Structure 1
């Protein structure tokens, strides 16, 4: 207990000293801002919005700390909702902040050094003039103008952008854990493990025709499609990809039939299988003999031309 009291006293003294330093620094900045020493009219507006949000967040957080230090309840206080809103906005601003990092670093370095060196990699930028050929002929210019007219007459179609999860804040360890988890799920969903699960599971065995995961997925989609068609009394068109998948499944089923050799009853002489097999062979030989004895087939004779 005495050790905790000493640590708490040391922390309070440290907080008091740092608060005093922060107060002096903020007062100095306020004086310089009032004197218009900081001209932010030509700065990046995104950073100004970000700083205003951070300042508002700190003000509301300080107000909550003051109420809790005074023993007052913060239940139902609107300050908590404002803090949640500001925190959400700041988290949504992180991707934009990361994209502007190169531009901000470039401006800060220029302000600190007063100029850029000739071999500074942040000084280089794309030259649009070098992307176009200045030796184009008049015929090419005429064709370009016609193409521009055709493009201007067409309707504008906005690009289709898909929502992508932002993973810029994830560490290398978190990305590795996600990769291991995805590999684990893929391994658990394999056909071999499904067969082992069915073999050693205590529950009843599920009887189905398809056992591989691709066939299960295709069968499920076909059942959903049939159910939709029956409920809405309409036929859904089949896309090119669905036709290809159907052909692949048909090829897999034919391959399974090729690798199936059937039973060995025809080789079992005691059960009469061999006799049946010999009878079939005799019938095949008789049919071949009849076709040979038949000789020529009936048909039209060719007339000789004189």
Structure 2
């Protein structure tokens, strides 16, 4: 708004200086026809308003003349492509993956499956059945497997709480949350047949064993001497029949 007012005052002053008689007659006249002639046509109002807008080219030219703006900045702005995609700087720290090969991924997957197989019910039952160590079992006042802790962590917590109660002669209160957790961690009668289809652990262990055997076989083959390098006779090898008939292996006649 201030720019428009300044421009109007400047144009009025320049018009007065160029033709003082016409300007004085127009300024001093109170005729409504003269006033209406000086008003702007509403159809051309948008065009007249656009004339009062600041001109960026003139502002940039004055800024270049004063040394505020460099001359090559305008050319760089004109040469820049507006449709070009933005490229962020490459100084942002990102995560570095040391090894993304298929071998490393397969080893991680096998390790994850082994950890999952340790928690398998069928694997634990097979270990307890075929292992030579004495079987460890505990129950909560029952002689059957019903009530046995399904997880070793729950059993360790129960034993720790029981030992603390016996040492301090107090009875610890169990919250509803702990009761629910213990109930979920114990075997019920209908849980005996829950893990019959859990054969993923067995498949994982068999594949891991086959891969370890293949690795061990490859190591043994690498250490074994090749046929080309085995030119010298092994002293512990059995001699052939031809060598037994002749040479130092021939029996002496008496």
Q: Same fold (TM over 0.5)?
A: no
Which of these two proteins has the greater Rg computed from alpha carbons?
2
What TM-score results when the alignment is normalised by the length of structure 1?
A: 0.25
More helix by share: 1
Tell which has more relative contact order, 1 or 2 (C-alpha 8 A, sep 6+).
2
TM-score by length of structure 2 reads: 0.29
